[in-house]
Amino acid sequence: MNTNFDVIVIGSGMSGGWAAKEFTEKGFKTLVLERGREVRHIKDYPTTNMMPWEFEHRGDIPYDIAQANPVVSRCYAFREDAMHFFVKDTEHPYVQEKPFDWIRGYQVGGKSIMWARQTQRWSDFDFEGPARDGFAVDWPIRYSDLAPWYSYVEKFVGVSGNKDGLPNLPDGEFLPALDLTCVEDYFKDFIGKKYKDRHVIYGRCAHLTQPTEIHLQQGRGQCQKRDLCQRGCPFGGYYNSNSTTIPWAERTGNLTLRPFSVVHSILYDDKKGQAAGVKVVDANTRETFEYTAPIIFVNAGALNTNLILLNSISARFPHGLGNDNGLLGKYVAFHNYRGHISAEYHGHLESTTDGRRPTGAYIPRFRNVFKQETDFLRGYAAGFGAFRGREHDYQGFGDSLKKNLDHGSLGPWRVGSHMMGETIPKETNTVSLDPSLKDAWGIPQLKIDIGYDDNDEKMLKDFFAQLTEMYTAAGFTNIKTGDSGQAPGLDIHEMGGVRMGKDAKTSLLNKWNQLHACPNVYVTDGACMTSTSTQNPSLTYMALTARAVDHAISQAHKGV
């Protein structure tokens, strides 16, 4: 195999797939390194068309597997139909200084196979947040820098949504939206009339409700609303790297994809003053290889990207590649998903729900948007859903039980919300390399020291208070709030550690996602994020990646 390329991309998931697509389209010979196995669209979705009764455990995780995997088994998608796409706890151990559930997917496509597919743009309220509120450092970009790249990505990915006209949640390039239920529509109208600053909207999602020509060229079809997405979709109805960016890159003839390639470190050339290539450990044979390229994109997933950079030691960078200021691995943040609230609604009893759909309603952030109005910084978004099912009488035995179960009646509408709170990046939230423990490939294990703070607790209480008020005003009853108490990480939105910024003294990356101290290395996955906002982050990763590749190509053409 050739060892010299124009570009090396580390990771084949949400952002790595986009780097591969963009470079290969422009004629760059690109090597994509993936530490996991190869997963081909459709061919390697073994459970995608299975019926519930075809699963030995009807979809549940067997007791012995759950006991052996206390971390990953907490993930909503780690079920019998999709557990083969997740890293088991013993397969890549790490050190938890505080409880942290690190959910990973090591295969071509990464976690883009199993993601929840919610796609929202950031606004200037998000990019300006740190500067306005005095936390973290100022973002080196604003919404206007990323807006055209959001559009570029959305058209290719396919995003279903409505033009809602909200300043705190910019509209995008949308395919037609699916319907909300009648109770979701009722709540949407009620909140819109009662509150000037609060909105309930259709949850924008990366599903092809009406494929365009570019989607048909990708070989993808319309979403069938099966709601089995974590298995991999045989129709290509939702976006993942396997169905879209990776095959697109392969068609150019410029892609070399190497699975089972665990990246040990990035090699640095002291004479040239730049990164020279990548050292790889074969996941199966444990042999080591070196590949070279003048441009390197690191898209290994936020925490693994931190790990790779920390382990990239040289005479120039004794504490990790680009780590002149000692901030590598610090200021990691995440989304707080602990809060949830449920209730009943006894209106609209002439209607019920039938079938499935890939999304529900969404409540964009409404706290501290235009001004500081609470005793905590930033705010939260929330999901919202309403459904109506049948209730059954479980009394009796034998024939009487069968008759009771067979003659269920419709119950009230059930409504529910979950919060997605923005956490504040702190220097004390860190990842580092364990000084003694190694993994199976001879690489130091990652040590994770990340936790909640008082700001998170105050935000959680406010979520309960505000949603309870909104539910009560709308006529919902039997309102119940709950704190899952889950550890950070289960949100699967970890960000930071290699943050962007304007000043090389306080950040690792510049406005183009280049390492300040090693500009031929770009980081465009979750590790680059300066703050987290309240939006689902994947769309922003993809837009940042497309923008960074455009910059890298322009620099290459200039001979820089």
Per-residue pLDDT of the chain (560 residues; tens, 9 = 90+): 789 999 999 999 999 999 999 999 999 999 999 999 999 999 999 999 999 999 999 999 999 999 999 999 999 999 999 999 999 999 999 999 999 999 999 999 999 999 999 999 999 999 999 999 999 999 999 999 999 999 999 999 999 999 999 999 999 999 999 999 999 999 999 999 999 999 999 999 999 999 999 999 999 999 999 999 999 999 999 999 999 999 999 999 999 999 999 999 999 999 999 999 999 999 999 999 999 999 999 999 999 999 999 999 999 999 999 999 999 999 999 999 999 999 999 999 999 998 999 999 999 999 999 999 999 999 999 999 999 988 888 889 999 898 888 888 899 999 999 999 999 999 999 999 999 999 999 999 999 999 999 999 999 999 999 999 999 999 999 999 999 999 999 999 999 999 999 999 999 999 999 999 999 999 999 999 999 999 999 999 999 999 999 999 999 999 87
Contacts of 136 (CB under 8 A, 6+ apart): 130, 331, 424, 425, 499, 530, 531
Q: Is 51 exposed, middle or buried (0-12, 13-18, 19+ CB in 10 A)?
A: exposed
**CA 412 – CA 43 distance, rounded (Å):** 42
Say how far residue 496 (Cα) sits from the centre of its chain. 13
pLDDT of residue 367: 98
Provide the residue count of the chain: 560
The CA distances from residue 525 to 60, 410, 446, in Å, are 32, 46, 18
Q: How far apart are CA 4 and CA 7, in angstroms?
A: 9
Tokens of 417: 């919300």
326 with 472: CB under 8 angstroms?
Answer: no
Distance, CA of 510 to CA of 296 (rounded, Å): 15
Q: Classify residue 324 by burial, with Cβ atoms within 10 Å: 0-12, 13-18, 19+.
A: middle
Q: For 148, phi and psi rounded to 5 degrees?
A: -65, -25
Give the DSSP letter of residue 37.
B
Residue 17 DSSP SS3: helix
Nearest by Cα to 45 from 139, 110, 113: 113
d(CA 543, CA 114): 20
**pTM greater than 0.95:** yes
Query: Coil, strand or helix: which one is 214?
Result: helix
Burial class (CB in 10 A: 0-12, 13-18, 19+), 132: middle
Q: Within 13 Å of residue 196, how many CA atoms lie on the same side as its CB?
A: 1
User: Exposed (0-12), middle (13-18) or buried (19+): which is 309, by Cβ within 10 Å?
Assistant: buried
Q: What is the pLDDT of residue 560?
A: 76
- Long-range (24+ apart) CB contacts under 8 A made by 462-470 are 462/367, 462/374, 462/376, 462/380, 463/339, 463/341, 463/380, 463/382, 463/419, 463/421, 464/339, 464/341, 466/367, 467/341, 467/382, 467/417, 467/419, 468/341, 470/191, 470/195, 470/198
What pLDDT, on the 0 to 100 scale, is given for residue 278? 98
Structurally, at CATH architecture level, domain 1-97+104-117+239-334+430-439+494-560 sits in: 3-Layer(bba) Sandwich (3.50)
For residue 394, the model assigns a pLDDT of 87
How far is 99 from 478, CA to CA, in rounded Å? 33
Structure confidence at residue 192 (pLDDT): 97
Residue 193 burial (10 A CB sphere; 0-12, 13-18, 19+)? exposed
Which residues, other chains included, contact 504 with Cβ-Cβ below 8 Å and sequence gap of 6+?
324, 325, 510, 516, 517
Q: What is the pLDDT of residue 409?
A: 87
Structural tokens at position 8: 């090396």
H helices within 368-445, ranges in order?
Answer: 398-406
Contact (CB, 8 A) for 18 and 89:
no
**DSSP E strand boundaries for 283-429:** 288-292, 295-298, 330-333, 335-336, 339-345, 361-363, 380-387, 390-391, 409-410, 413-422
Which two three-digit tokens encode residue 506?
A: 């306080």
